[in-house]
Homo-oligomer: A and B are copies of this chain.
């Protein structure tokens, strides 16, 4: 089960509400979500993957999964209509797994935004956890600390259960520096990774004892959810009533039969730009550059940009550039980037929500420029995909295909538009754009009209259920 909820505000301006942390491309070109999916698929006898995420990320998540292989195990979804933290999400997954696969089903809960490089050690740890889970234990994975980190919770191990697992003595919330140093020195403390392994029935029974209000709300949610509809969206009314609590707080801190498997693998939750910077190699001055940069007397800086960046005489800066927003932060203040996002939210600044490139079920569009009475977009339609049959009241659209092939419905007429050909959709005309070809269709759209807002759209028919 992959838990894919968090916003990753600390990774603004690259992470945004419409494309949060799990979907950010790392320096190797892959997203954290794809890496998590591949890690899950690497557990040879896994029965399949269940993703619990906000319904807004359904098409994005599928878009990440599909390239992973010709016939990967089925991808199952529980879509949240509202965000309700990890306890309701894991509870829903456990009830769903019990219903679909039997209550002895073992769930491995993986947050979508962890980076683990040693897959073999990961698989060994999971094998250990799985044995214990089958015996009724709630199993956590503890990361051996290499520094007195104050940003994570800790797990204190008790007596050994096997060569690779211990009873959990207690969970400790994020400590102060003195306590963190003591935990590091002591040796029995590990970081709480947020990954779990347990059988569906163990999770359900622990919730019944320690968090009955969550269990009750989620049971009501599943009862009210339309199981035949694809994708499956949890019923909004009852789910919204579930308490907004973490699984740690609701269950793990109180439950009885808890185990910890200390991890022998590396682990990075990419919690800030400072952590993300480490994935790019440093030069002799400690500078890390992803993109094009001229650095004059700069030290310890991380630059990520698609444009030319010049830095003169600066030290320990994070310079993170996107087409519509720029972050310049001292490296040790990387945690405070979330404060920037809070401020931007107060004024509903668009850079919190969207990138200039917006993802849609059929592909993407990028606003190249917007002026008075006009807007220019680059539209990319995936092979076989199709926009809704739609109509605009206030704008007409000029379409020029620059690569691939477009099939265009204009009222009753259907035409094909090839590279260097164009067509015109006047305001009020029902129209639909499809890509019947085998490669992406790239089109430039020039909108003209009194009003060119995204909300001037009447969807007449849509294969993605958006009418």
Contacts and interface: CB of A to CB of B under 8 A. Distances in A.
Contacts of A330: 312-314
A181 interface: no
A329 B293 CA distance: 13
A308 B349 CA distance: 9
A449 B422 contact: no
Interface in A394-435: 396, 398, 400, 402-403, 419-420, 422, 424
A108 to B, nearest CB: 37
Contacts of A294: 340, 343-344
A90 to B, nearest CB: 34
Contact of A402 (B305, B314, B374, B419): B374
A378 interface: yes
Given A308-B344, A308-B351, A371-B402, A376 B444 contact: yes
Interface in A3-55: 12-13
A314 B318 CA distance: 10
Contacts of A326: 305, 307-310, 319, 321, 326
A317 interface: yes
B329 A314 contact: yes
Interface string A330-346: 10110011011001100
A369 B378 contact: yes
B396 A398 contact: no
B312 A336 contact: yes
Contact of A328 (B312, B373, B398, B449): B312
- Per DSSP, chain A at the interface is strand
B403 A400 contact: no
Contact of A329 (B313, B325, B444): B313
A314 B313 contact: no
A446 B312 contact: no
A107 interface: no
A312 B296 contact: no
Interface in A271-310: 294, 296-297, 305, 307-310
B336 A313 contact: yes
A448 B403 CA distance: 9
Contact of A319 (B328, B371, B374, B376): B328
A400 to B, nearest CB: 4
A328 B325 contact: no
Nearest to A301: B328
A278 B75 CA distance: 59
Contacts of A309: 325-328
Q: Which of A307, A308, A321 has the most CB of B within 10 A?
A: A308
A78 interface: no
Contacts of A305: 326
Contact of A310 (B297, B311, B340, B449): B340
Nearest to A368: B368
A442 B370 CA distance: 13
A325 B310 contact: yes
A423 to B, nearest CB: 10
A455 interface: no
B368 A376 contact: yes
A324 to B, nearest CB: 5
A424 to B, nearest CB: 7
B400 A448 contact: yes
Interface in A178-204: none
A70 B448 CA distance: 35
A446 to B, nearest CB: 4
A308 B324 contact: yes
A410 B238 CA distance: 65
A312 B340 contact: yes
Given A294-B344, A307-B324, A319-B328, 10 more contacts: A13-B308, A296-B333, A296-B339, A309-B327, A309-B328, A310-B325, A312-B327, A313-B330, A376-B378, A398-B422
6 contacts: A296-B340, A297-B333, A297-B336, A308-B349, A310-B337, A422-B422
Q: Which 7 A-B pairs have the closest CB atoms?
A: A313-B333, A312-B329, A313-B330, A374-B402, A420-B448, A308-B325, A310-B340
